[in-house]
A = this chain, B = another copy of it.
Amino acid sequence: MCAKKCGKKSSCCGSKGAARSGSKKMVYFFGNGKADGNEKMKNLLGGKGANLAEMSGMGIRVPAGFTITTEVCTDYYKNKGKYSPELKKQLDAAMKKMESAMGKKFGDVNDPLLVSVRSGARMSMPGMMETVLNVGLTSKTIEGLIAKSGSARFAYDAYRRLMNMYSDVVMEKAAGIEPEEGKGIRQQLEKLLNKKKYEVGAKLDTDLNEGDLKDLCLQYKAKIREVLGVEFPDDPMEQLWGGVGAVFASWNGKRAVSYREIENIPHEWGTAVNVQAMVFGNMGNESATGVAFTRNPGNGDNNFYGEYLVNAQGEDVVAGIRTPAPINKNSQSEQNMHETILSDWDPKLYKELDDIRKKLEKHYKNMQDLEFTIENRKLYMLQTRNGKRNGPAAVKMAVDMAKEKLITREEAVMRVKPEQLDELLHPIIDPKTEKQAKVFCKGLPAGPGGASGRIVFDSRAAVEWKSRGEKVILVREETNPEDVEGMRASVAILTARGGMTSHAALVARGWGMCCIVGAGELHIDYDRKTAHSNGVDLREGEWITLNGTKGVVYHGSLPMIDATKENTYLHEFLKICDSVKKIKIRTNADTPGDARKAREFGAEGIGLFRMEHMFYGVGSDEPLFLLRKMILSESESERKTALNELYSYLKKDIKGTMEAMDGYPVTIRLLDPPLHEFVPHQKEALEKLALALNINAEKLEKRTEALKEMNPMMGHRGVRLGVTYPEITEMSIKAILESAAELSKEGKKVSAEVMVPVVCTEKELIDQKVIFDKVLAETLKKYNLKKLSVMYGTMIEIPRAALIADRLAAVSEFFSFGTNDLTQMGFGFSRDDIGGFLPAYLDKEILPEDPFQTIDVDGIGQLIKYGIERGRKTKPGLKVGICGEHGGEPKSVAFCYKAGMDYVSCSPFRVPIARLAAAQAAISK
């Protein structure tokens, strides 16, 4: 095989230079339907060079040229800017081949070949390195160009452009001049251009005529001589070597170096240099240039889609000065429908282009983004690459291409980025507008999607404004059950405090509502009805827009893109994912409604039903009232009375949810949060409760005060409540088991899993298991059943639990990893308080990512692996899953799959993303 791994036989790279023993091949030719290199040689030829070689090798016409390898770049730095004589030989040979392919000669005064000199690294570094066009134009060859093109204006314009670029990129740097910002040679030349335009009354560059441009060329030469102290080179080869050197030098330019540092691109890779024959779409009305996609990137339709401009250069198509014409009827829009389509302008040429389109898509097995130029009715392809597409298009193309057998099901799965599905699940802010929007503040992304609305500061105002037909966003310090009505009336929620498990975040996630919490910079003045951040005050009624996926709040009302209705292909795509993935996707849902929604999204069970959810005031106020009564009871008997009243509410939701899940497993977590979270925080509510409970308000306040904790996250919560108040556990388990029993009796399928939270020792599980066993025996007897499909298991969310998982497994039928808390305790990061330092940690790259967004594989991952290994050592085949935010995050899903979990669980709106992530993980493994 070829030593360069070009994938061809060893003779492939057998140019004369390379054939000689001991000499390395440094220059790779392409053109004339042939090529020395190919697509697989990106390391050596860079992305651009490899791609041009590939196209040429496929027999597609590209302007001929050659690539100087990245190894030469490395040597260039090793040898302090000097080239080996061998390079010159190989370059000369390649120039000969290029001349022959293009039928022109470099430096020919009658019909000169002009070339472009461009960088091309292994990975794209857009705009970071240098380019010089029109190399080869001199005071002599310009005459030939004028003659051949028939346009002196065109030729002088090309010459002017060459001087502009070359003096900046090559000459100024070679002279070692580092001008002040905005005072470089380029800017000085542009000043002359502007002066000329002013003198002749031209608005656009194109308004300048032949004479103006010719004069400008003379002025440019003089200015270059004046500023840089040397003449503009009049020798084509000198220009060429200057360009090559400038590209190599630009690899270590400041911008390029810092770009590589950010993107983690190794400095030792080096760049290749592509020297390619110039073709001109602006050589007159028989010439044109265009861009096209092999399918529609906006909606995924399998139609050729593109635009072109007659007598124009590549940049003109995107510059927006002239309206480009559609290449065919499918590409027509309101704006361009009166322009001549390419298939009418030149049907034969269009046919040629359409054939190339088919050939390339078949070859690359992906939608291609093409650039082409027509020079005197001759078609040249300048570039092909996998085309960018939006979410809906990505999904449709993946499904279509799989159907067409162009790609496999696995390839189809890999074609859609999980985050692209967000576009199909929520309205999003138009990305183009978002880039320019002004940021008001930032917070934690608690509910995905985008939303615009007018600021209101309390629940009452939200309801009132909504009733007037206004779109409102509720902005609060933090929310609590008393705010639920206002939250429901809003299109989004923004809080200044609280973390991803705060009331606002939990409620919003359940509703699939856009939400940002914990915006630390935000200061709210309820009295003055203002929200202050970054030195700006916003008043009630002012518009803001939230990006709940990123956690950014913008000023004003930004336009939205809503693709949630058009996702007809989503279902089909996710079916493909399901056929590939190896783990189950469950959801976190706490009501029959959520459960049904999650089933629609494809959930295969509930991984987390939070007992406490009904106390967030989302359904009725009564359960919260009863819970408060229970919490603030003075005696066990009072507490039991309140619990009995609570029982029916609990059972109703549990039973309904189980029924909605139709036999899919439903994991119900026993009461988790510290009791203090549920007591009234507002004086008004406190007094109301005191009245209802017939207790002195002052006494009640003291009792609620007594529940306060220094670090509630590590306080009296979870199973610790169950151990100290066994009657709460008993009532909860009774509600679960009797729900299951009743459904069983009704002939319905049911599978319940009772889950104990915040466990740190097996004795806690044993303590609660006694209650479980007792209630199970009572339930079987009461309903005259022999058995009930119900399991008893534990969360692994305390670091110690992961470490002693072997013991926990002896008392558990399943494990569910609570990675939120595991991350909190494992890092010692309070999620509610990381605002003070996490931004700095991410800025300084002390942490690569927010560990609450993506599982920290290095640290927390170890605990998860220990937990699974040790658990299964005691109980092989132990059922293991994850509940919590990470369950819907693609990288984390991949980790969970690799770690051997049976399922992941996430909020309903994340289920499709998790299904895709799970499928991609299965393929990647």
Binding site for B on A (CB under 8 A): 499, 709-716, 720, 723-724, 758, 760-761, 763-764, 767, 797-800, 803-804, 821, 824-830, 832-834, 836-837, 840-841, 844-847, 856, 858-860, 862-863
Contact = CB atoms under 8 A, between A and B. Distances in A.
A803 B863 contact: yes
Given A798-B828, A799-B825, A828-B825, A763 B712 contact: no
* Chain B CB within 10 A, most for which of A715, A821, A862: A715
B720 A836 contact: yes
A864 to B, nearest CB: 11
B761 A833 contact: no
A832 B758 contact: no
B711 A713 contact: yes
Q: Which 3 A-B pairs have the closest CB atoms?
A: A711-B830, A716-B836, A714-B830
Given A826-B800, A828-B825, A847 B724 contact: no
B761 A829 contact: no
B846 A712 contact: no
A712 B833 contact: yes
Given A709-B832, A724-B840, A833-B709, A826 B799 contact: yes
B832 A723 contact: no
A846 B723 contact: yes
Number of copies: 2
Given A723-B840, A799-B863, A821-B828, 6 more contacts: A712-B833, A714-B833, A724-B840, A763-B845, A763-B847, A803-B863
A844 B758 contact: no
Contacts of A720: 836-837, 841
A714 B804 contact: no
A830 B715 contact: yes
Contact of A710 (B712, B837, B860, B863): B712
A715 B834 CA distance: 6
Contacts of A821: 828
A840 B767 CA distance: 12
Nearest to A859: B800
Contacts of A767: 844, 846
Contacts of A846: 723, 761, 763-764, 767
Nearest to A766: B846
Contacts of A714: 711, 713-714, 824-825, 827-830, 833
B723 A837 contact: yes
Contacts of A832: 709-711
A271 to B, nearest CB: 30
Contact of A760 (B710, B761, B827): B827
Given A710-B830, A800-B859, A830-B709, A716 B844 contact: no
A669 to B, nearest CB: 16
A799 B821 CA distance: 13
A837 B799 contact: no
A475 B764 CA distance: 35
Contacts of A845: 763
A874 to B, nearest CB: 15
A840 B824 CA distance: 25
Contacts of A499: 710
Contact of A837 (B716, B800, B834, B847): B716
Contacts of A829: 714, 760
Contact of A833 (B716, B724, B799, B836): B716
A832 B710 CA distance: 6
Contacts of A799: 799, 825-826, 828, 863
10 contacts: A713-B828, A713-B830, A714-B827, A720-B836, A723-B840, A723-B846, A799-B863, A800-B826, A803-B826, A825-B825
A763 B844 CA distance: 9
A728 B803 CA distance: 36
Given A724-B840, A844-B767, A713 B710 contact: yes
A798 B862 CA distance: 14
Contacts of A860: 800
Given A724-B840, A837-B716, A859 B828 contact: no
* Chain B CB within 10 A, most for which of A711, A712, A827, A863: A711
* Chain B CB within 10 A, most for which of A712, A760, A847: A760
Nearest to A828: B798
Contacts of A797: 828
A829 B711 CA distance: 9
A712 B711 contact: yes
